[in-house]
Chain A
Amino acid sequence: MEKDIVNIGKSVVIKGELNGSEDLTIEGHVEGTIQLRDHVLTIGPNGRIKAQVFAKSVIVLGEVTGNVTASDKVDIRDNGSVDGDIISPRVAIAEGAHFRGSVDMQRKGAPAQTQPKAPQPTAQPQEKSSSQGSQQPQPVRA
């Protein structure tokens, strides 16, 4: 089944609140708030975002200024840029990406934006780690 993906083109400028229930790719400019709670937001190479972003997954190839909250993953690709704080259980930042801000990787299942100072889970053997492939550090095991 073909998946619907909406594209906001390079010449489009949006100021205000952007809500959606399908995957979205932005190549234009958006200022305000973007909410795609259960879907994937892609900021294309030409995309310029000054907004608070809430989505299931966020892929950044362009520029984002603002805080990004994702329930699944934030992926800053090569030449992608994020100036803001990231909250997401998985974060991948490519070599060549720009990032300035903080990263808070909530545990899966934790309530959004309200992570308590609870004790760390002692074991999550089934949980999938974030990307970065072979560059992922390899802790010494006892």
Chain B
Amino acid sequence: MGLLDRLGPRRSEPEERPGRPATAAAEDPAFSTKALRKFLSSLTARESPILLDLGPVVGSNVSFFGEQLGCKIFVEDIFADIDRHVRGGKLEELPAFLKKRFPQVTNTVDGILCWDLIDYLDKASAAEIANELTRVLRPDGALLGFFGTAQAQVHNYTKYIISDEMTLKHRPYPAARGRQVTLLNRDILRLFSGLRVSDSFLLQNNLREILFRKPA
């Protein structure tokens, strides 16, 4: 069954959206994504795929993956964990925390939405989480990550909202601390040395979009 066949059947009817005006999502800026489609294809190749989302919960993304792709979704908001450690003055404990953060069994997760998380982590924390994500990802599973290209003093996180398989909307929200690093490509490859790069794109907004696959 093809990706489009899987995505097609369940179109939503307009329904109430508590807590946010219906027009708000339409106002969020959007950018084209090239890797998301391939990421989705990797999920739809599996029955009842397990998805790990490392960003804040986005209701429409949950609906998209849960209803249309039949995913079981684990929402593990690591950005909230960073903020909690910053506010508690316990940033030095973050690497050890991340090492024990994921309860998922080794080789069981079909897809990971890493978003731009790595940009907000120090080197030690990034290494720990990369190891953990590599551990939980099943062979041939996919990880989608975004990496910035400029050292910007950004003190916002970003919610990524899937508009369609080629388009992501993004919505900034306050962060307790800003971006920490701008990784070179070779640093990213070292960080995820247990994975192979399936696709890599430099988007028009200068975001590097990398799709990793775990060797089978």
Asked whether any CB of chain A lies closer than 8 Å to the CB of B186, the reply is: no
- With A92-B59, A123-B9, A138-B163 in contact, do A133 and B72 touch (Cβ < 8 Å)? no
A129 interface neighbour in B6, B11, B24, B57, Cβ under 8 Å: B11
Asked whether any CB of chain B lies closer than 8 Å to the CB of A78, the reply is: yes
What per-residue 1/0 map shows which CB atoms of A108-142 lie under 8 Å from chain B?
00000001011111111101111111111111111
Q: In whole angstroms, how far apart are the Cα atoms of A108 and B18 in the complex?
A: 23
Residues of B near A94 (CB, < 8 A) are 17-20, 59
Asked whether any CB of chain A lies closer than 8 Å to the CB of B62, the reply is: yes
A136 touches B9 (CB 8 A): no
Number of interface residues of A (CB under 8 A): 48
Return B161 CB to nearest CB of chain A, in Å.
7
Asked whether any CB of chain B lies closer than 8 Å to the CB of A105, the reply is: yes
A128 interface neighbour in B4, B13, B19, B72, Cβ under 8 Å: B13
Asked whether any CB of chain A lies closer than 8 Å to the CB of B193, the reply is: no
Number of A-B contacts (CB under 8 A): 161
A95 touches B1 (CB 8 A): no
Residues of A near B83 (CB, < 8 A) are none
Return A98 CB to nearest CB of chain B, in Å.
8
Size band of the interface chain B makes with A: 35 or more
- With A78-B19, A102-B72 in contact, do A117 and B63 touch (Cβ < 8 Å)? no
- With A91-B62, A93-B62, A135-B60 in contact, do A129 and B18 touch (Cβ < 8 Å)? no
B10 touches A141 (CB 8 A): no
Pick the interface stretch among B73-81, B92-100, B114-122, B199-207.
B73-81
B contacts, CB < 8 Å to A: 1, 4-20, 22-26, 47-48, 57-64, 66-68, 70, 72-77, 161-166
Known pairs A105-B66, A137-B68 / 13 extra A-B pairs, C-beta < 8 Å: A95-B20, A97-B57, A97-B59, A99-B57, A103-B66, A103-B72, A104-B73, A129-B10, A129-B15, A130-B67, A132-B59, A136-B60, A137-B63
A-B contact pairs, 21 of them (CB 8 A): A77-B18, A78-B19, A94-B18, A95-B59, A99-B57, A100-B77, A102-B72, A102-B73, A104-B73, A122-B1, A124-B9, A130-B12, A131-B63, A132-B15, A132-B17, A132-B59, A137-B61, A137-B63, A139-B8, A139-B64, A139-B164
Closest 10 pairs (CB-CB, A-B): A78-B19, A129-B12, A94-B19, A93-B59, A139-B7, A135-B25, A105-B66, A133-B17, A135-B60, A95-B20
